[in-house]
Amino acid sequence: DPGTQKVTDIGPFSAGSQTPVITDLAVDGSGEVWVNSESAIYRAAIPQSPGKVTLTLVSPITLGSGQKFYALGFAPAGVLDATETLVAGDNAGALYAIATNGQTTKLGTFGTDASNDPYELSGDVVFYEQNGTARGLATIRSCPKGSCSTSNDLLAEIDVAAMTTAYQTKTPGSLREQVLGNGTGYGRLFGVGAWDSSVYAFSRSATNAPAELVRIDGSGVGTSIATFSQITAGWSGAGVTTKAPVTVLPPN
């Protein structure tokens, strides 16, 4: 609740004796909540009142050396498969389609900026439908000489058509449709969601600094609308159903 700067604590994740660190969550069209660790996908049972959030393992994910997943979202039905499909992002800035058996299909990366420096995924992706058209957004950052910006993440539109082609041909491509503006003015946006005409990003901020909720408009500019002093370990993800009413971007 940005108006009161109040956060409602639902409860801790629990997967038995060895609960992993959860790095993101996604919500499908029926309201089911899915989460991921750095190497596995789980379904989360959200209690009706605050309490333990029980995790059920869907599948581990086999990754390359040094790869870790930290972004998760559902692509709408018809984009990759007939049903909604999980899409995850890794620490190298690539997106993957995730099957229910854990099989991954690399879809591509976000390419390079005007200086030919690579863009990497800053923290999260969100997909939705607008007037029957699938759209996708991501927070990305420029990484000159392997050193990524931590102060000015960018909001980018995902090239959904390129995702579809990459999935069908099994040939990864560039997934950046456009960058909105010159930067949000905020870094470490590790969670992103969208509702109505705005994008809402969750900033991890600096170590031990209060977490922030940032609203990003259609021009890509961010404005802090709430600071949560009781959260100093930062946010690690956000989730929005693909059925959410979103009109952030102009029609194609």
Q: pLDDT: is 184 or 47 the higher one?
A: 184
12 has pLDDT over 90: no
The backbone torsions φ and ψ at residue 41, rounded to the nearest 5 degrees and listed phi first, read -115, 140
Task: Give 31's pLDDT tier (boundaries 50, 70, 90).
Answer: confident
- pLDDT band at 80; cut points 50, 70, 90: very high
User: How far, in Å, CA of 171 to CA of 241, rounded?
Assistant: 28
- Residue 206: the pLDDT is 61
Residue 156 CA neighbour count, 13 Å, CB half = 31
Q: What is the pLDDT of residues 122-168, one digit of tens each?
A: 878 988 888 888 889 998 998 888 788 878 899 999 999 999 999 99
Confidence of residue 201 (pLDDT cuts 50, 70, 90): confident
pLDDT value of position 11: 81
Q: Write phi, then psi, for 165 (nearest 5 degrees).
A: -60, -45
pLDDT of residue 2: 54
> 198-203 and 189-195 as β-strands: parallel, antiparallel, unpaired?
antiparallel
Whether 251 shows a pLDDT value over 60: the answer reads no
For Cα atoms 131, 133, 138, give the angle at the middle one, nearest 5 degrees: 115
Q: Residue 21 class from Cβ within 10 Å (0-12 exposed, 13-18 middle, 19+ buried)?
A: exposed
Please determine, for residue 3, whether its predicted confidence score (pLDDT) is greater than 60: no
Residue closest to 14 by CA, chosen among 47, 38, 39? 47
C-alpha 96/C-alpha 98 separation (Å) is 6
Residue pair 77/87 in contact (Cβ under 8 Å)? The answer is no
User: pLDDT digits over 89-110, tens only?
Assistant: 988 889 999 988 888 999 999 9
Q: Which of 37-41, 45-49, 196-200 has the lowest mean pLDDT?
A: 196-200
Tell me: pLDDT of 6 over 90.
Answer: no
Q: How far apart are CA 166 and CA 48, in angstroms?
A: 40
Residue 225 banded pLDDT, cuts 50, 70, 90:
confident
Q: How far apart are CA 214 and CA 156, in angstroms?
A: 16
pLDDT-derived band at 233 (thresholds 50, 70, 90) equals: low
Kindly state the average pLDDT of the residues 220-240. Answer: 76
Rounded mean pLDDT of the chain?
84
For position 197, what pLDDT does the model report? 73
Q: Which of 190-199, 216-225, 237-246 has the highest mean pLDDT?
A: 216-225
pLDDT at 1 (0 to 100):
53
- The pLDDT assigned to 237 comes to 67
Taking a C-beta distance cutoff of 8 angstroms, is the pair 215, 199 a contact? Answer: yes
d(CA 71, CA 51): 25
Burial (CB < 10 A; 0-12, 13-18, 19+), residue 156, is buried
